[in-house]
Amino acid sequence: MSIQLNKILKNGRGIFLAYDQGMEHGPRDFNSKNCDPTYLMDIALEGHYDAVILQHGTAEKYYQDYYKDIPLIVKLNGKTQLTKLEPYSRQLCTVERAIKLGASAVGYTIYNGSEHEGEMMQEFASIVDKAHDYGLPVIAWMYPRGKFVEDKLDNDLLAYVARLGLELGADILKINYNNNIEGWKWVVKNAGKAKVVASGGDKLSDREFLQKTYDVMQTGAIGLAVGRNIWQHDKPFSMTKAIQAIVHHKKTVEEALKFL
């Protein structure tokens, strides 16, 4: 069965609104507005995001009929920051349950270089096996982290994990950008036919975030998976239009800044 990437990409490009930080970081990222999942879902729907990324519990309670027009990416694994153990993110939701919840794609984090890398790679490979039987794209968060990783943004390491994602069968790789345009071209090249999106990261100033978005798009990447830079913004719809201008309409940073 062919992999239905067109459900989460427009003309081969995509911006995914991430909202799995509640599990990964706890409420420290939230304020009284954005801790309400409906606030986020309204941004995703009215902002015309290419997809929204949710954990299965949030999807079950908030991705109802009203929001069904937003393509859904269900994050299948996750972990908290409550332990200081070696990074290990286990599967918490099956591919079948994600499909029942309405998923157009599934996501999974691999902490490359962790002592538990092997277990995560194996779990990921069986997810790819199942998801691809249904034509469902699989997005891999390729995050070098753990006691064997000295510099998680080292360019050679990012190129290595990009290649690993391709070889593991991922369709899209979500990788942290290291502010190195030339270096990232090598990262994207190593991903081959697997497409690359950059993670949003901590909240930046408008200009910094738009410059980051622009730079990422010069490397051959196809877009962003972004959370805090949108839903922590006091004008989330204006920032949405600005990043769409760069990603989908190939505008410059100066042109995009006009939306803010």
Enumerate binding residues for ligand FBP (CB under 6 A). 18, 20-21, 24, 53, 141, 199-201, 225-229
Q: Closer to ligand FBP at the Cβ: 219 or 229? A: 229
Of these residues, 75, 111, 174, 251, which one is catalytic?
174
Q: Closer to ligand FBP at the Cβ: 2 or 19? A: 19
The yes-or-no answer on residue 174 being catalytic is yes
Least distance CB 29 / ligand FBP (angstroms): 7
Least distance CB 1 / ligand FBP (angstroms): 27
Q: Closer to ligand FBP at the Cβ: 137 or 227? A: 227
Q: Smallest Cα–Cα separation from 158: which of 178, 139, 179, 182?
A: 178
Sheet strands (E) in the chain: 14-18, 51-55, 72-75, 77-78, 90-91, 103-110, 138-142, 172-175, 195-199, 223-226
Beta-bridge partner residues of 18: 53
Least distance CB 110 / ligand FBP (angstroms): 12
User: Under a CB-based contact definition with an 8 Å cutoff, are residues 57 and 93 in contact?
Assistant: no
Of these residues, 19, 49, 143, 177, which one is catalytic?
143
Q: Closer to ligand FBP at the Cβ: 102 or 201? A: 201
Least distance CB 248 / ligand FBP (angstroms): 18
Give one DSSP letter per residue of 49-68, joined into a string. -SEEEEEHHHHHHH--GGGT
Q: Closer to ligand FBP at the Cβ: 65 or 234? A: 234
Least distance CB 240 / ligand FBP (angstroms): 13
On the 0-12 / 13-18 / 19+ scale of CB atoms within 10 A, 171 is buried
Q: What angle do CA 70, 71, 73 make, to 5 degrees?
A: 125
User: Under a CB-based contact definition with an 8 Å cutoff, are residues 163 and 191 in contact?
Assistant: yes
Give the residue numbers annotated as catalytic, written as ranges.
143, 174
